[in-house]
Structure 1
Amino acid sequence: MDIVLYVLIGLAAVVALFLLAAAFRSADFVIARSATVAAPPAAIFPHVNDFHKWAAWSPFEKLDPNMVKTFDGPPAGIGAGYHWSGNAKAGEGRMTITDSRPSDRVQMTLDFVRPFRATNAVEFTFVPEGGQTRVTWSMSGRNGFVPRAFGLIVNIDKLVGRDFEKGLAQLKAIAEAKG
């Protein structure tokens, strides 16, 4: 019986340490990836500034072939909105473009509904570098307790960053093929 008590106390201590580590982990996060594209910013910008064009390059669009998508507001630029609802992988959420400066940047608010609620800021920047463009895709926000705890087990930067890298590679392929 003593060994069972020691195991239970040890297990409780491990759980307490895990919860304590999650509680003191920073809530703020930034995930960012960049790619160099052999095309001018003007050739890349329209593919990001218009949600109707995201299906061609965004890896998130491929998570559910039956995803329901609706668009509202102007067709592109400030005020353009995109709502999706899909399977467990795709989840549900909404993006709204909040700032759009041609060939410079596109900023948006990303509101997740499921599998968890969160509001994040997303930004794409287009910086000329010689005859090429450095495109950076970033997402930032604040995590609640559960995502901070989950982040102790799974490297969220690596997980989401991998999708950003795939999307940037597809965006690169599209922009370079048209150039």
Structure 2
Amino acid sequence: MLKTFAYIAAALVVVVAGILIYAATRPDTFRVQRSASIKAPPEKIFPLINDLRSWSAWSPYEKKDPAMKRTFGGPASGKGAVYEWDGDKNVGKGRMEITEVTPPNKVLIKLDFIKPFEGHHTAEFTMEPKSDNTVVTWAMYGSHPYFAKVMGVVMGLFINMDDMIGNDFAAGLASLKAVAEK
């Protein structure tokens, strides 16, 4: 009986060590991005991104919890504009602040998640004219700390940020396209 317990304990130690070692091999940073071609000039699309209040018309996260609490601060749009949210388990709690703007081609956002997990990342929107279309790219990137890597391995064996938010970005860009092409 004691021998069986020792084998089980040793096997458990090997499994845990394997998870920890595997997690250490995962990348220290991540980048998720999606792009869409929109039949509108950048000047028409840019305000829909640069004014955080306009996000309610196209952001997929607005639809996940329509009852979430929203707070806006700073200027109405552009650098310094702030959007804070507090919602259910589908959206959590966090804060966005526009940190850099290059009209009508780029918006950079400091993105701070508070719940359900703390995270500090950057969201970037670029708009590149192509003929009578604009290619809009929505990206999010940041560090991937060791704890997050371990949780990713444990919670779903190979769950990554792309799996978690890539479809949301694609849905958001599809909604942005519908709004901008009206």
**Do they superpose with TM above 0.5?**
yes
* Alpha-carbon distance, 1:3 to partner: 4.1
CA distance in 1, matches of 2:53, 2:73: 11
Equivalent residue, structure 2, for 1:160? 165
Equivalent residue, structure 2, for 1:76? 77
1:170 and 2:175 correspond = yes
State the identity as a percent.
45
The amino acid that maps onto 2:51 is: D
Asked if 1 retains the 8 angstrom alpha-carbon contact of 2:30 and 2:161, the reply is no
CA distance in 1, matches of 2:150, 2:130: 39
CA distance in 2, matches of 1:149, 1:136: 29
Q: Deviations over 1:91-149 (max 9, x none)?
A: 11100001112121000100111111111111000000111010000011112222112
Equivalent residue, structure 2, for 1:10? 11
Give the CA RMSD over aligned residues: 1.3
CA distance in 2, matches of 1:139, 1:151: 17
1:85 and 2:86 correspond = yes
Q: How many residues in Structure 1 have an aligned counterpart in Structure 2?
A: 177
Equivalent residue, structure 2, for 1:66? 67
Gaps of 5+ in 1: none
CA distance in 2, matches of 1:159, 1:176: 28
Equivalent residue, structure 1, for 2:40? 39
CA distance in 2, matches of 1:146, 1:60: 25
Question: Please, what TM-score do these two structures have when normalized by structure 2?
Answer: 0.92
* Alpha-carbon distance, 1:7 to partner: 3.3
* Alpha-carbon distance, 1:66 to partner: 1.4
Question: Please, what TM-score do these two structures have when normalized by structure 1?
Answer: 0.93
Gaps of 5+ in 2: none
| 2:138 alignment partner, SS class | strand
CA distance in 1, matches of 2:171, 2:33: 13
* Alpha-carbon distance, 1:4 to partner: 4.3
CA distance in 1, matches of 2:51, 2:65: 20
* Alpha-carbon distance, 1:76 to partner: 0.5
CA distance in 2, matches of 1:139, 1:85: 20
CA distance in 2, matches of 1:161, 1:41: 23
* Alpha-carbon distance, 1:163 to partner: 0.6
1:122 and 2:123 correspond = yes
Equivalent residue, structure 2, for 1:56? 57
The amino acid that maps onto 1:74 is: P
CA distance in 1, matches of 2:73, 2:149: 33
